[in-house]
A and B are shown apart, each in its own frame.
Chain A
Amino acid sequence: MKRLVVVDSNRCVGCDLCVYACTNRYGYVGVSKSAIHVRSAGGIERGFVVVVCRACRDPPCARACPVDALVLRKGGGVVLNPSKCIGCGFCVTACDIGAVMWDSETMKPVICTHCGYCVAFCPHRVISLEEVG
């Protein structure tokens, strides 16, 4: 199994092409369906914060879900079962690093599947897929 990791956020130039790639998995363009988030670290001159799911072994988001819509993923992190999800948003609050995003159209969380589609569209090698046991 693999997981997505931020190799060096100092290499990030803030182009958001990873964000667009992620949204594109669903046949969309834009930012609404991205599981990655990039923002400045308090002014562009300080560089960027790249927020991705860490693929926790004991994920707080799953524990916070009242309806078991987040199932543990092999290799860490969770898989969303959208038909179970009631859109309460507890998972978003439970993730201290802010890696559970929110789709305000479906009113459900956006969960990183660690597919690595974004990696191919990062021009500056900020993120990569890492093998996990």
Chain B
Amino acid sequence: MVDWVKSLSKVLYVDLGRKVSWVEEREDLFGKWLGGVGVAVQLYKEEVPRGADPLGHENAVIFAIGPLTGVFPMASKVVAVFKSPLSGFIAEAHGGGRAAATIRFAGYGAIVIKGASDIPIYIVVDGEKVRFRDAGALWGMRSSETVGRVLREALPGAGYRTIMRIGRAGERLVRYSNLTVETYRHFGRMGLGAVFGSKKLKALVVIGKSGFKLPNVRAYREVYKEVYELARGPLTKKYHDLGTAANVLPLDKLGALPTRNFISGRFEGAREISGEKLAEENLARRVACLACPVACIHLAAIREEYEDERYFYKTEFVPYDHEPIYALGSNLGISDRFGLLKLIKAVEDEGLDSISAGVVLAWATEALERGLVSLKETLVELRWGDWRNYIRAVGYIVSQPNEFYKTLALGVEEAAARYGGAEFALAYDRVEPAGYHTGPLYHASLAIGFRHSHLDAGAYAIDQSLVASGAPVPSPEEAVKQIIEEESWRQVLNSLVLCLFGRGVYTKEVVVKALRALGYEADEQTLAELGRRVYLEKHGIKFLEGFKPEGIRIPRRILETPTPLGQVREEFLKGVVSYYAKLVRDYIGDRSAG
């Protein structure tokens, strides 16, 4: 056993029902599966029974980090695995901020949260001590930002801690509510906020102050220096300069920027909400996740005069990235930058996944336009570009004053099932899509994706390279191969756990070097096999939970709106899904019967 595994193998279990916690040494898991998603999926298998209700006490949330966390630059993410209340199946979300290294230096490789509390609580993990605290005073608080501020001031450990919390959306079980980390980062997708809410868990605070002795300092420093230089160089410059918002203009130019509920891939207001314009006019500060020199987190400042008093101003900070710009900007026809930032802020305060929220609102706008619903349902006039009314609607999604908004809180699939308009209800497997309309491979990757993030397999990049080279779109079988190969390798990165913005820094060669410096006998072949195994394990669990990809609904809108590679063909997507299903079923074999 590699010694380094021992530094990582403590798993903290917290049972919210009984209000107890304990630690188990799990060298077995960390030795075999490295960490991160590899380990989290195995813990999920142990903890969550097949028929568990995602919002019931049987569901568990597993946070896991990996051998490189806090040790090498850009190893800055935590993987969360849980059963999603949006999709109904095992799901995964990643979060940054100060969470990853802090969990590491609190002494844990993973934290398992199980059971459900009878009263609102929050948990404080301070090294070896775990405290259950009454969250009565925090429950129902209007802004998740305020919750963070209260906890920041009430608790010790400034500079050594992470504060993860949900907003009101999570409390009220909106199926696409998120878990916010350090105010501006998120475990964004798949409804982790609602899982916290169902457990009456308002926040998880971890304080980590320790360190670990390295097995070979000289070897470590050599690789560290190399990685550090790469991580602050041209490979990550895009993320440092404009952040992910750098994508807005190139995607628009390509005709791949989803606009007004994917009716078009071009937005006439793209320039106004571009990374360039935001940086020039609104960017106030760039910040980083722990252990990351890149600092891709872009915070805008919005200055606003109170309507009731002249010269009385307030200034608020709003994080922006490509995804909220797409979902709450171009996809809602909003080109007013101030309005877009105000809308993002509203979504942030409530603790909603901005992608799902934007897609749900886009569907509602079109449903109103086409007369499927009326003002009686929507309560406010939802019109492309009208950010003030969208802000009101965001509030209604959370407060749920009528049946319509109660339904919107369940996601776009449920909304379309109830009110119609499935052809323009954008979702794959009940999960609203991330902001690219690059071509068939991207949509295929969403159809068979796990995290429903564009980073699952990065297939938008394959589409873009096809556009550039003019090469023909591969056959479904070939496309599946490409997508799964990439997604499998990313399972290795997600087990270490690295930020995927560092995927260009951490080539296979660099990953091997970094692991060897810590005493792991890794080689590219073994790692690639591990990645494939993790891929099959997690997709396998989803199938065993009853996932049937062949029945997938492909929204007509996806097929109708041309991409830079032309129209996406339904047979292509169905072909991809069927090859994928066969591959996973071959892996799980007989287990599906049990």
Contact = CB atoms under 8 A, between A and B. Distances in A.
B115 interface: no
A3 B149 CA distance: 35
A42 B317 CA distance: 13
Q: Which of A15, A16, A20, A105 has the most chain B CB atoms closer than 10 A to its own CB?
A: A15
B52 interface: no
A42 B213 contact: no
A17 B295 CA distance: 12
Given A39-B158, A104-B209, A14 B71 contact: no
Contacts of A27: 213-214, 217
Contacts of B64: none
Contacts of B183: 43-45
Interface in A15-29: 15-17, 20, 23-24, 27-29
A90 interface: no
Interface residues of B, number: 42
A86 to B, nearest CB: 22
A15 B289 contact: yes
Interface string A1-22: 0000000000001111100100
A37 interface: yes
B287 A44 contact: yes
A44 B185 CA distance: 11
A105 B196 CA distance: 35
B291 interface: yes
A39 to B, nearest CB: 3
A104 B289 CA distance: 25
A42 to B, nearest CB: 7
Contacts of B182: 44
Q: Which of B184, B213, B288, B291 has the most chain A CB atoms closer than 10 A to its own CB?
A: B288
A129 B71 CA distance: 25
Given A15-B293, A45-B285, A45-B299, 11 more contacts: A13-B286, A15-B292, A27-B217, A28-B213, A29-B220, A31-B105, A38-B159, A44-B184, A45-B184, A45-B317, A124-B295
A28 B211 contact: yes
B210 interface: yes
A43 B210 contact: no
Contacts of B287: 13-14, 44
Contacts of B210: 30-32, 105
Interface string B393-420: 0000000000000000000000000000
Contacts, number: 93
A84 to B, nearest CB: 24
A118 B547 CA distance: 50
Contact of A15 (B71, B208, B213, B290): B290
Contacts of B148: 43
Given A20-B70, A45-B317, A31 B212 contact: no
27 contacts: A13-B287, A14-B98, A14-B287, A14-B288, A15-B291, A15-B295, A17-B228, A23-B211, A24-B220, A28-B211, A28-B213, A28-B214, A29-B214, A30-B212, A32-B105, A37-B159, A38-B159, A40-B158, A40-B159, A43-B183, A44-B183, A44-B287, A45-B183, A45-B285, A45-B299, A123-B232, A124-B295
A33 interface: yes
Nearest to A48: B287
B285 A16 contact: no
B256 interface: no
B291 A17 contact: yes
A99 to B, nearest CB: 13
Contact of A29 (B70, B152, B208, B284): B70
A32 B209 contact: yes
Contact of A24 (B149, B152, B221): B221
A87 interface: no
A57 B293 CA distance: 33
A16 to B, nearest CB: 5
A76 to B, nearest CB: 24
B101 interface: yes
A125 to B, nearest CB: 11
B476 interface: no
B159 A13 contact: no
A47 interface: yes
Counting from the closest, the 3 A-B pairs by CB-CB distance are A30-B211, A39-B159, A123-B293
Given A15-B290, A39-B159, A45-B183, A33 B211 contact: yes
B73 interface: yes
B579 interface: no
B160 interface: yes
Interface string A42-59: 111101000000000000
Given A13-B286, A16-B101, A44-B183, A31 B160 contact: yes
A124 B159 CA distance: 19
Nearest to A33: B211
A65 B160 CA distance: 27
Contacts of A38: 159
A47 B297 CA distance: 12
A106 to B, nearest CB: 11
A45 B284 contact: yes
Given A39-B159, A44-B184, A123-B232, A17 B209 contact: no
Nearest to B73: A17
A27 B218 CA distance: 9
Q: Which of A17, A37, A38 has the most chain B CB atoms closer than 10 A to its own CB?
A: A17
Contact of A43 (B149, B208, B209, B224): B149
B295 A13 contact: yes
B158 A16 contact: no
Q: Which of A37, A38, A47, A123 has the most chain B CB atoms closer than 10 A to its own CB?
A: A123
Interface string B136-166: 0000000000001100100000111000000
B127 to A, nearest CB: 9
A27 B217 CA distance: 6
A93 B172 CA distance: 45
Nearest to B185: A44
Contacts of A43: 148-149, 152, 183
Nearest to B301: A45
Contact of B212 (A29, A47, A121): A29
Contacts of A105: 210
B299 A31 contact: no
B288 A31 contact: no
